[in-house]
Amino acid sequence: MTAVFSHGRLRLYLLKLLDDGPKHGYELIRLLEDRFLGLYAPSAGTIYPRLQRLEVEGLVTHTAAGGRKVYEITEAGRAELRQRADELATLESDITASVEDLSALAGEIRSEVRGSVRDLKRELREAARQTRQARWEPPRTRPTATGGPAPSGESTLLAEFDQRLAAFTVEVGALVRAGRLTDTQLRTAIRLLDGALDGLRRLLR
C-alpha cells in the first residue's frame, strides 16, 4: 500500500468514494487507480477486508447485485466523514503530492530504461551488421603463441555481444530494484523490454 494511506486513512478514503454513490469493490479499485494516474492500484486483498470492517462498524452496508456485493455508505458513515472533514482535506492534499512524486519517479525510470534500450538496439544492430558481413567473408585466422589459430572476427563479436547483453541485464535489474517500482511501473518496464526484443527479431529476419 502506498504510504499516503498509512494509519487507517484508506478506510476514510473508501468512505469518501462511497459517499459519491454505491459501488462494488472493483469499482473502488479502479477509482483509486485513476486517482493515482495508474501508478498505484490497491489489490482486492487490500480493499475487501477494509470494506468488511467498515460494514461491521456500521459505516457501510452492502446488497448483492449480479453476483457482486455493492457497498453503500450509511448515515453513520456520512457522520464520520463530516467529523473528519479536515483530515480528509489533508489526505486529498497528500494524495496530490504523492501522485506528483510517483509521476516524477516514473518519468526518471522511463528515461533510464529508454536510454538503455536505445543503446542495446544500437549495439545489436551493429553486431548484426558485422555478423552478416562476416558470413560473406572467409574466416581469417592467425597463429597464436601456442601455434593454434586465433579466434575469428565473428567469434570475437559474439563474445562482445554476450558481454554487452549480460551488462545490460545487470544494469536494468539494478535500476528496477533500486527504484522500488509498483506493479504498474514494472509492467511498463516489461513492455519496454518486449519492444526491444521485437525490434531485434525484426532486425534479424
Q: What is the pLDDT along the chain (205 residues), one digit of tens a residue?
A: 456 787 788 999 999 999 999 999 999 999 998 888 887 888 999 999 999 999 999 999 999 988 889 999 999 999 999 999 999 999 988 888 878 766 665 666 666 666 566 666 666 666 666 655 655 555 555 555 555 555 555 567 777 777 777 777 767 766 666 666 666 677 777 777 776 776 676 666 6
What pLDDT is attached to residue 97?
85
Q: Is the pTM above the cut of 0.75? A: no
Distance between CA atoms of 118 and 3, rounded to whole angstroms? Answer: 34
What pLDDT is attached to residue 55?
96
Distance between CA atoms of 199 and 41, rounded to whole angstroms? Answer: 30
Give the SS3 label for residue 2. Answer: coil
- For the beta carbon of residue 124, count every other beta carbon within 10 angstroms: 19
**Closest by alpha carbon to 42, among 13, 74, 72, 83?**
13
Radius of gyration (C-alpha) of the chain in whole angstroms: 27
